[in-house]
Amino acid sequence: MATTEPRVLTTVSGVASAGDAPPARPMVAVRSLDAYFGANRAVKDVSLEFPEGQVTAIIGPSGCGKSTLLRCINRMHETVSLARVEGEVFLDGRDIYARDVNPIEVRKQIGMVFQRPTPFPTMSIRDNVIAGFRAAGRGAPSRAEQFEIAEWALQRAALWDEVKDRLHESALALSGGQQQRLCIARALATRPRVLLLDEPTASLDPISTQKVEELVYELRGDITIVIVTHNMQQAARVSDHTAFMLLGDLVEMAPTSRMFTSPGDERTEAYITGRFG
């Protein structure tokens, strides 16, 4: 694909209206995206934007393409056998699928946290946080600088006070909720511009879920966040915008307050009110 600047990106229909504040500029813009697993088309011609410094939730029933879309945004989808992507994804105006773009560099700028905590079992708490620098070779910060980054990331993940005296312990010594916040700290350590959260609280207890949601709220403004969730109450609590997907299609996207009070599509209303899903 060409690496020239893309055409001017317009706001997805339904994101802004006369009663809404002007949307922020898009940090990520998806254009005519199709994602395949072999012959199966899991995401179908999706176009949408994720405003800079804001939180966007993606909701929809299981198997609707939410997580696949998320994995396309940082080029994780292509790591699956027989998977492929067609279309464009722009990070701050640059097509991340352009031929000269290194997917490893993309993933440094677009971090991701998965449904279940995934700490590295053989590493200490601190080494888990700075694991992303291992592949940097001579370009990596000094060990002292990495320790400073680890402290900063753990503080940003609201975990420092709980682990500052346990940094050399195995990450597996932490509770499930702490492990998930550790994974968020690990994603933050490379100072990404975008953070993708794929059902980050699905396996957590209510108290841990609340802490992760508070963390998402605290990070808004500093980082663009996209969160996939089955929990519509969670989407309503943490997000500025909500997108609804069904059978691989993007049905609609709107400010969260409007999505949950007056959705523009009958299918969205049916899902939100529990008539299916």
pLDDT for position 137:
65
pLDDT for position 3:
37
120: helix, coil or strand? coil
Per-residue pLDDT tens listing for the chain (277 residues): 433 333 333 333 333 333 344 568 999 999 999 999 999 999 999 999 999 999 999 999 999 999 999 999 999 999 999 999 999 999 999 999 999 999 989 998 999 999 999 999 999 999 999 998 876 667 788 999 999 999 999 999 999 999 999 999 999 999 999 999 999 999 999 999 999 999 999 989 999 999 999 999 999 999 999 999 999 999 999 999 999 999 999 999 999 999 999 999 999 999 999 888 7
268: helix, coil or strand? helix
pLDDT digits (tens, 9 = 90+) for 225-253: 999 999 999 999 999 999 999 999 999 99
pLDDT for position 227:
98
Q: Is the dihedral of CA 245, 246, 251, 256 positive or negative?
A: negative
DSSP string, 169-204: SBGGGS-HHHHHHHHHHHHHHT--SEEEEESTTTTS
Tell me the average pLDDT of the chain: 90
- Angstrom CA distances, 13 to 23, 49, 173, 264, stand at 12, 10, 47, 11
- Domain ranges in the chain are 26-119+192-272
pLDDT for position 22:
55
What topology is assigned to 26-119+192-272 in CATH? Answer: Rossmann fold (3.40.50)
pLDDT for position 134:
78
pLDDT for position 15:
35
67: helix, coil or strand? helix
pLDDT for position 23:
64
Percent of the chain with pLDDT over 90: 84
98: helix, coil or strand? coil
